[in-house]
Amino acid sequence: MSNLITKTTELAMAVTLKYIEQGDTVIDATCGTGQDTVSLAVAVGKEGTVYAFDIQKKALLLTEARLRAHGFSNVRIIPESFVSMRSHIAGGSAAAVVFNLGYLPGGDHSITTTAETTLEGLKCALDTIRPGGIVTVVLYDGHEEGSAEKKQVLEWAESLDTKKYHAAYVSLLNQQNNPPEILWITRKH
């Protein structure tokens, strides 16, 4: 087994996969290069569905190409902001919603998630997950927008109703160059 705490993106996905079964519906809110989309597509299997959102053409093309290379047919790519997820997926039906915030690696850094849209998207995600489902957020505070976004997202998560949700936050404490951090929110049964 790889050392999971050294790579937060892998840790974020490893925990998320524990909440997903074959046949489930899940959402990749920011598909980017399609790496997370593929992990989710494997987890839900042929009978399940992944809804993959992104607002950037380059990201959508990268994800399409990666899915084609793997031969997946259980992913619906939606060229829209994640704030529209409620109009595509029934409330209370998804096992997981994954947000990997920030900008596309190697892409245009001006096309990034923002505090305002991310908070709106997270509220949509809480409406969309089923009881026992999870919302996973990978946060980056190494850039200006990401720093403001992280602060607001964590403040919001701290204020969630304790009767309905568990929220957990992971940060690598002794590493350099602002490694990504993780927020998980699970919905109580």
Ligand X SMILES: C[S@@+](CC[C@H](N)C(=O)[O-])C[C@H]1O[C@@H](n2cnc3c(N)ncnc32)[C@H](O)[C@@H]1O
Contacts to ligand X by CB under 6 A: 30-33, 35-36, 53-56, 59, 81-82, 100, 102-104, 111-113, 117
Q: Of 112 and 186, which CB lies nearer to ligand X in the complex structure?
A: 112
The residue with tokens 């050294």 is: 6
Closest approach of ligand X to the CB of residue 82, in Å: 4
CA–CA gap between residue 48 and residue 63 (Å, rounded) = 18
Closest approach of ligand X to the CB of residue 183, in Å: 15
Question: What is the longest distance spanned by two Cα atoms in the chain?
Answer: 43
Q: Of 8 and 33, which CB lies nearer to ligand X in the complex structure?
A: 33
Closest-CA residue to 38 (of 69, 79, 2): 69
Closest approach of ligand X to the CB of residue 81, in Å: 4
Looking at residue 34, what DSSP letter applies?
A: S
Residue nearest ligand X, Cβ-based: 32
Q: Of 51 and 103, which CB lies nearer to ligand X in the complex structure?
A: 103
**Cα-Cα-Cα-Cα dihedral of 36, 71, 66, 117, to 10°?**
-50
Closest approach of ligand X to the CB of residue 131, in Å: 25
Closest approach of ligand X to the CB of residue 16, in Å: 12
Q: Of 55 and 170, which CB lies nearer to ligand X in the complex structure?
A: 55
Q: Of 47 and 116, which CB lies nearer to ligand X in the complex structure?
A: 116
Strand order in the sheet with 49-53: 75-78, 49-53, 25-28, 94-100, 129-139, 181-187, 165-170
